[in-house]
Amino acid sequence: MTQLSVNINKIATLRNARGGNNPDVIKAALDCERFGAQGITVHPRPDERHIRYSDVIELKKVVTTEFNIEGYPDNRYLKLIRETKPAQATLVPDGPDAITSNAGWDTVKNKSFLIEIVSTIKSYGVRVSVFVDPVIAMVEGAKAVGADRIELYTEPYASHYHQNQEAAIKPYIEAAKVAHQLGLGINAGHDLDLNNLKYLHDTIPHLDEVSIGHALICDALYFGLENTIQLYLKQLK
């Protein structure tokens, strides 16, 4: 079964909008686990507009499922990974002013940089996933820099899903096949929701994990967090 990792950034965004500690990010993460999520994802950004670095430290103390920390691998991120040693570090190419991730790494152009970063993180005993577009050269590049997994950037799939499902998924199938042949694990994330997740799961081979935050938290406003997580898990069966 493909694992569901819940990105709790938006819960922190809501907390930060008012100040104080409501909703409680730590409690929310524990509840996500209790409701069936097999992982918790966070993406701390330099301005701490949602998840704070202090949140990550506290979450590591209590999260018992797979803890995944996304981010651009600057010195502060690397220090955080070294101190917390999550199950997985997902490297994204976002600049500090990015609202959300909007492209994968050019693993060919950034080969030397990524080799050093991946090697450093793996020396901490942490699995490394590299965020990539569904392009075979980028997948091959992820293997070349020493990554353990790729995370396929699925916004293009989600954007074109309602127009032509087969065309939207085709590059992801091809990228996943190559990744599997190279011995890479396969994650996916970005704009996945209750409409497009099942088709992605049923069509992409060897999918290890999906990371979902924004849509899941939006759905939870209507369905409740526990029921929403169960609805997402149902799509992955």
* Domain positions in the chain: 3-235
Cα 196 to Cα 81, 102, 204, 229: the distances in Å are 32, 18, 12, 15
Q: What is the pLDDT of residue 134?
A: 98
Q: Which of 1, 75, 9 is nearest to 38 (CA)?
A: 1
Q: What is the pLDDT of residue 96?
A: 61
In the set 33, 50, 70, 209, the catalytic residue is 70
Q: Which of 209, 203, 150 is nearest to 180 (CA)?
A: 150
Determine contact, residues 171/134, Cβ cutoff 8 Å.
yes
Q: Say which CATH topology domain 3-235 has.
A: TIM Barrel (3.20.20)
Is 70 known to be catalytic? Answer: yes
Determine contact, residues 76/46, Cβ cutoff 8 Å.
yes
Distance CA 77, CA 71 (A): 7
Q: What is the pLDDT of residue 100?
A: 62
Is 43 known to be catalytic? Answer: yes
Q: Which of 178, 181, 182, 184 is nearest to 209 (CA)?
A: 184
Q: What pTM was estimated for this model as a whole?
A: 0.95
In the set 33, 50, 151, 190, the catalytic residue is 190
Distance CA 104, CA 134 (A): 9
Q: What is the pLDDT of residue 98?
A: 58
Determine contact, residues 236/1, Cβ cutoff 8 Å.
yes
In the set 43, 50, 151, 209, the catalytic residue is 43
Amino acid symbol at 44: P
Q: What is the pLDDT of residue 27?
A: 98
> Nearest 5 degrees, angle CA 60-CA 64-CA 66?
80
What's the average pLDDT block by block, 10 residues per block, for the chain (237 residues)? Answer: 97 96 98 98 94 97 98 96 98 73 89 98 98 98 98 98 98 98 98 98 97 98 98 97
Residue that has been written with the tokens 């406003």 in this structure: 221
Distance CA 227, CA 235 (A): 13
- Helix, strand, coil % over all residues of the chain, rounded to 5: 45, 15, 35
Structure tokens that stand for 169 in this block = 């998924």
